[in-house]
Amino acid sequence: MEIIRASDVWYEYVNPDETGEMAVRGVSLSVRRGEWLSIIGHNGSGKSTLVKLLNGLYVPKRGSVTVDGIDTQDEERIWEVRQKVGMIFQNPDNQIVATVVEEDVAFGLENLGVEPAQIQPRVQKALEAVDMTRFATVAPHMLSGGQKQRVAIAGVLAMRPDVMLMDEPTAMLDPSGRREVMDTVERLHKEEGMTVVLITHFMEEALRGDRVIVMEKGKAVMEGKPREVFTQVEELKNIGLDVPPMTELAHRLRADGFPIAGEPMTVKEMVEELCRLKQGI
Amino acid sequence: MLKDITLGQFFPGDSVVHRLDPRVKMLMMVAYIVVVFLVKGFLGYLVLFAFLAGATLLSHIKPKFLLRSIKPILFIVVMTFVLNVLFTRGEKLLVEWGILHIYWEGVRFAVFMSLRLVFLLLGTSLLTLTTSPMALTDALERLLKPLKAIRFPVHEMAMMMTIALRFIPTLLEETDKIMKAQTARGADFDSGNLFARAKAMVPLLVPLFVGAFRRADELAMAMEARCYHGGGNRTRMKVLKVQRIDWYASGVMAGTLCLVLLERLL
Ligand SMILES: Nc1ncnc2c1ncn2[C@@H]1O[C@H](COP(=O)(O)OP(=O)(O)OP(=O)(O)O)[C@@H](O)[C@H]1O
Ligand SMILES: [Mg+2]
């Protein structure tokens, strides 16, 4: 079942950069309920612009985006769209509004006009889901980056969205914060069946998903399962993207004449494949 | 180091005074200020003192802590005292020294005015010590709600205050970071005359402002993504309810007011 559909979407900023090109040029995609879609592409390829089109923060100049059948151009129902499609941004500091964690998680619900009696339990549950209950009454600036990002996720979860859009949520975090956030997202995806659209520069994060879209100059140039996309090493390199380290290693070993079979992507898979080769020799 | 700065002077606690409804506390504050201006003689100050001492005791705030809040205006208090002593004319001359004439009435009036300042400050400090800035903002928004009828942007004002409270620590942290970065590159913020120092602030303020504008932009986008569309149809998680202790406290305030009025009449 599809939850978001974008058909031939174009978008141009009011003050475009020197190139004069549109930021998003004719992208079509659909997001299915319960899937994890990763979007990769290098700086300025239009990833952020694309996801902002998916929850109606921007409306397409041409083409259309529908969320659960609602057109994002429909101004009457825009709050319904934003409730269904939550969004997490890159900078944890610039998306927390309130001075206390629980107040911030409640912010979206207050905006939706939910009854006060219902807000408290929903906030509690959202904080539990990201394992931040202990910090309910703490001031946000006392938290680590990873914890702030989990608060932001709770703020979205409390609104009971169908989809969670994430624009490089781990780009400003240290490795432990990154793991903390990605594990939370993965758990929500696996256990609660949350639909995830994740923009990332980290290929190992994209590997966790069901599907990958590669953006280049405002267009979606590749699409497929992570394995299908990441094995096209030459194409990815041509558009200036990295591939996961093990894929890169396999590619180089093959170029040197080692018959690596299958597509090892994780260290574990690579070790198994190398052991198999060694025994064969 | 800048991170250690606490906002306002809120002192978290669980006393009766802390637990009072912030709206009631704010209204009591207004009443208190009126009372301070109504006091006519030292007997009135005695009543006020009893009220303040009682409240402080109940709040578990150390008196030393409360008194410390006078420090920033100590200069003004002293000035008020000196000017009043020197320039009030009266009948009973105490000291005559050259052109200096100090009258008994002058001393009396000076003490009276200084006490007024001190009492005003102690009262407001007790409020901010026992009420978080956030609760105060919240109370203000709810109390001023009727002003919406004359199109006064009550909600917007409260939202601005909340965001300011939220971002002051973040911006302080950023200032600290930029300062260190500029110091590492040889910038000097602490020496030279006033002009040189002001000039040294420019490379600090420019990135700070640029950063603040970028933040504002991103925050606006994040708020919209979470369905923020102003104060209309908005609900609140916290419901404030006037409890029995709020009535008791208001009663004590009213009693104080009556006593001071009585003193004025006698
Ligand atoms: N607010 C804006 N005003 C004008 N042009 C913009 C604006 N934001 C982005 N652009 C331009 O639109 C294009 C796509 O930008 P976008 O932010 O979508 O890229 P991105 O893939 O998210 O990049 P990054 O990886 O750096 O986040 C770029 O050429 C960029 O310069
Ligand atoms: Mg981006």
Q: How, if at all, do strands A195-199 and A163-167 pair?
A: parallel
* Average pLDDT score, chain B: 88
A125: left (phi over 0), alpha (psi -120 to 50) or beta: alpha
* H-state helical runs in chain B: 16-19, 22-38, 42-59, 63-68, 74-87, 104-130, 133-143, 154-184, 194-225, 244-265
Specify the pLDDT at position B36: 94
Decide if B134 and A100 are in contact by the 8 Å CB cutoff.
yes
Which residue of A11, A40, A49 sits with most ligand 1 atoms within 8 Å of its CB, as the best mutation to test the pocket?
A: A49
Q: pLDDT per residue over B39-79, tens digit each?
A: 988 899 999 999 999 999 999 999 988 888 888 889 999 99
**Which residue's CA is the nearest one to ligand 1's atom 17?**
A48
Specify the pLDDT at position B265: 86
Percentage of chain A modeled with pLDDT above 70: 98
> What dihedral angle (degrees, nearest 10) is formed by the CA atoms of A192, A193, A197, A200?
60
At residue A158, does pLDDT exceed 50? yes
On chain B, the residues whose CB falls within 8 A of the CB of A55 are 225
At residue B3, does pLDDT exceed 70? no
Specify the pLDDT at position B1: 37
* E strand intervals along A14-102: 24-32, 36-40, 62-67, 70-71, 85-88
Specify the pLDDT at position A197: 97
Specify the pLDDT at position A18: 67
Specify the pLDDT at position B200: 79
A69: left (phi over 0), alpha (psi -120 to 50) or beta: left
- Give the model's confidence band at B6: pLDDT under 50 very low, under 70 low, under 90 confident, else very high: very low
For residue A41, give the ligand nearest its CA. 1
- Give the model's confidence band at B5: pLDDT under 50 very low, under 70 low, under 90 confident, else very high: very low
First-to-last alpha carbon distance for chain B, in angstroms, is 55
Confirm if A165 and A86 have CB atoms less than 8 A apart: yes
Q: pLDDT per residue over A165-218, tens digit each?
A: 999 999 999 999 999 999 999 999 999 999 999 999 988 888 889 999 999 999
* A44-58, A227-241, B19-33, B134-148, range with the lowest pLDDT: A227-241
Report the distance separating Cα A276 and Cα B12, nearest Å.
64
Average pLDDT of A232-255?
A: 86
Between residues A19 and B255, the one the model is more confident about: B255
Average pLDDT of B184-191?
A: 79
Specify the pLDDT at position B2: 43
Among B227, B238, B240, the strongest candidate for a mutation testing the A interface, having the largest count of A CBs within 10 A, is B227
Specify the pLDDT at position B192: 76
Q: pLDDT per residue over B210-250, tens digit each?
A: 989 999 999 999 999 999 998 888 999 988 889 999 999 99
Interacting residues of B28 by C-beta distance below 8 A, sequence separation 6+:
B249, B250, B253
Average pLDDT of B5-33?
A: 85
- Give the model's confidence band at B156: pLDDT under 50 very low, under 70 low, under 90 confident, else very high: very high
Specify the pLDDT at position B260: 92
The pTM is what? 0.86
Decide if B229 and A79 are in contact by the 8 Å CB cutoff.
yes
Average pLDDT of A227-232?
A: 87
Report the distance separating Cα B23 and Cα B143, nearest Å.
7
Confirm if A210 and A186 have CB atoms less than 8 A apart: no
Cα–Cα distances in Å, from A35 out to A45, A150, A192, A210, B233? 23, 20, 12, 6, 34
Report the distance separating Cα B229 and Cα A107, nearest Å.
11
**Which residue's CA is the nearest one to ligand 1's atom 24?**
A43
Specify the pLDDT at position A16: 67
Decide if B162 and A97 are in contact by the 8 Å CB cutoff.
yes
**Which residue's CA is the nearest one to ligand 1's atom 11?**
A23
Q: pLDDT per residue over A87-138, tens digit each?
A: 999 999 999 999 899 999 999 999 999 999 999 999 999 999 999 999 998 9
Nearest chain B CA: its distance from A215 CA (Å): 23
Nearest CA in chain B to A57: B225
Domains, chain A: 2-238 (3.40.50.300), 244-281 (no CATH)
Specify the pLDDT at position B8: 60
- Give the model's confidence band at B96: pLDDT under 50 very low, under 70 low, under 90 confident, else very high: confident
Amino acid symbol at A259: P
Confirm if A30 and A6 have CB atoms less than 8 A apart: yes
